[in-house]
Structure 1
Amino acid sequence: MSETNEIQLNMMIIMKPYVILNAAMTLDGKIATKTGSLEISGKEDLKRVHELRKEVDGIMVGINTVLVDDPRLTVHKIPSIKSDNPIRIVVDNQGRIPLKSRILNDDAQTIITTSNKVKKDKKSLEHCKKLSKKANIFHSKESSVNLKELMNYLYSKNIKTLMLEGGSTLNFSMIKENLIDEIRVCIAPIVVGGKYAKTLFDGEGFDFMNEAINLELKNSYQLGKDLILEYKVL
């Protein structure tokens, strides 16, 4: 690798938002049941989540979260004004977001990130042209969104702090690329089981324990019936 390319790579890694993965899960690590039911944490934790949303510049999810849950990704569980809403980012390789999705409303700005698969499919390309009237489109040049490139882009858009509310696949992709700085988890005192129920991190996983991502517990406290754990990613 040339010195110039090495400097550019280091800049891409450094010039990224501070990323906080926030999630609620059951005691057995599930973030949803096999049917997609998501009601895990208590009302106190919901307020905590919205307080965090109010503090960050952006909030990111994957396309499956949008298709299944149709979230607004705004601050609405606590007193707020429109300017409190973070910029919403959706990782959507094939540009599948329905035009009537709530994440495309005018409550906040939205950035949709797609891959080069969109340009190779006429139907997807036409759909993205319609989406571009409601959101900013970031096209990755690869067959799946290059997350490091995306982080660099978001930083250039003045998104200095990013809340990740991803599903299990996006969560693993982000942590595998060393793009997560902090993990905050609400653990609810319930067990759902099920081999098809999503966990906090799925994806391809690591083959050996010595490849695992190490964490350092920074804070823990009881919140209503739930337990909040805050970790620094080492």
Structure 2
Amino acid sequence: MDKNYMLKAIEISKLGSGFVNPKPLVGAIIVKDSKVIGQGYLKNFDSLSAINMAINSATESLDNSTLYINIESDFKELLETNIKNVVVGTLDPIKNGQEIETLKTNGISVTLGILKEECEELNEIYIHYSKTNTPFVFTKWAMTLDGKLATKTYDSKWISSDDSLKFVHHLRQQVSAIMVGENTVKQDNPMLTTRLEGIKISNPLRVILSKYGDLPLDSNIFKIDKDKKTLILCSSKIQKSKEKEILKTGAKILKFEEKNGHLDFKDIITALGNNNIDSLYIEGGSAVLASAFESKIVNKVYAAVAPKIIGGKNAITPVSGNGIEKMRDAIVLNKVSHEIIGNDVIIKGYIS
């Protein structure tokens, strides 16, 4: 039964997705006599803790009850209750077991590691950011069965099925920032917002890679309000007049020194991490993805393969750049899995 209750804790923790960054997703379940009598989750960055919410929602006395929680947390609220058993999915890399020892010192029984892998994947963003102070970076693209991102005329709407597009918006909901390059802005004029029905929406910060700010000012990314914000990453050599035009839209600018004529991705993720950006979703285009892989800053890859064929040697592939010369040097994903969404196959894997 421990696994079932931990799965419940994992599921309710996801209700905080998009609102707690850079804190972890936390879900807490209180069980007594094989019945859930209280539950809670971290709703947003400044809200009551999941444990506090679970305690406050309890419908019965907490005597002889057990708390299930997906990640080690501050357990001080528990010390004031009669809960004597705690089941924890995984350790918090910052607390590193200190809170577990506090529970044991106060006579509370602790079981650690129930659904550990699932709990760690749930909070892979938080765990990575806590250890490195740089964002967890993942990429996602949709391609045809013959590996094309768009036709030779740059038409790409829509390769994916409707269900696959919904999957993309769930990814956007999870992250602090989403990135595309200036060519994607010019060709597709994307909104880069989260569009989902039936849940509260969190829009990621729109991060645009544009070395000299060569962007149409009527683009959707410059439609800015309290819920939709944009950051332009550019060279320190950007013209002052162009910089002023961009700033007038309400967008922010972050400038970098060029290295070999390019903006360095390692400099970028360091700067984003220092600005409390714990996660970065790189959505395109192919040149930006190539630079990200060449810089070795990508942690996770999603690829949606649609059962369509375009053909054409000039059709666009997901990752451009110079490419790798020898197959033995190819980037190999590990912990690979897949699922079928609509008619598409979503492949997921990690880069060590």
TM-score (norm 1): 0.87
Matched with 1:52 is 171
Of 223, 227, 233, the match for 1:105: 223
- 1:110-157 CA distance string (max 9 Å, x none): 110112442xxxxx4312211023211111111321111111111111
SS at match of 1:71: coil
Q: Judge which range, 38-47 or 126-135, deviates more.
A: 126-135
Q: Is the 8 A contact 2:164 2:341 kept in 1?
A: yes
CA deviation after TM superposition for structure 1 residue 195, in Å? 1.4
Unaligned runs of 5+ in 2: 1-130
Matched with 1:195 is 313
Q: Is the 8 A contact 1:51 1:78 kept in 2?
A: no
- 1:65-112 CA distance string (max 9 Å, x none): 000011110012434556x00001000012111111110112411110
In 2: Cα distance, 1:41 partner to 1:115 partner: 34
CA deviation after TM superposition for structure 1 residue 183, in Å? 0.4
Identity of aligned residues (%): 36
Matched with 2:65 is none
Matched with 1:206 is 324
CA deviation after TM superposition for structure 1 residue 219, in Å? 1.8
Of 205, 211, 217, the match for 1:87: 205
Q: Is the 8 A contact 1:114 1:144 kept in 2?
A: no
CA deviation after TM superposition for structure 1 residue 178, in Å? 0.7
Unaligned runs of 5+ in 1: 1-12, 119-123
Identify if the C-alpha distance between structure 1 residues 47 and 197 changes in structure 2 by more than 3 Å, giving closer, same or farther.
same
Matched with 2:20 is none
Matched with 2:91 is none
Of 147, 150, 160, the match for 2:268: 150
CA deviation after TM superposition for structure 1 residue 218, in Å? 2.7
Matched with 2:247 is 132
1:65 correspondence with 2:188: no
- 1:15-39 CA distance string (max 9 Å, x none): 3210110111111111111111111
CA deviation after TM superposition for structure 1 residue 193, in Å? 1.2
How many residues align? The count is: 216
Q: Is the 8 A contact 1:47 1:78 kept in 2?
A: no
Q: State the one-letter code of the partner of 1:219.
A: S
Q: State the one-letter code of the partner of 2:233.
A: T
Matched with 1:224 is 342
TM-score (norm 2): 0.59
In 2: Cα distance, 1:16 partner to 1:112 partner: 18
In 2: Cα distance, 1:24 partner to 1:52 partner: 13
Alignment root-mean-square deviation, CA: 1.6
Structure-to-structure mapping, 1:169-184, within 5 angstroms: 169-184=287-302
In 2: Cα distance, 1:24 partner to 1:209 partner: 23
Q: State the one-letter code of the partner of 1:24.
A: A
- 1:149-182 CA distance string (max 9 Å, x none): 1111111111101111011111111011111100
Matched with 2:257 is 141
In 2: Cα distance, 1:189 partner to 1:128 partner: 43
Kindly report structure 1 stretches of 4+ aligned residues shifted beyond 6 Å: none
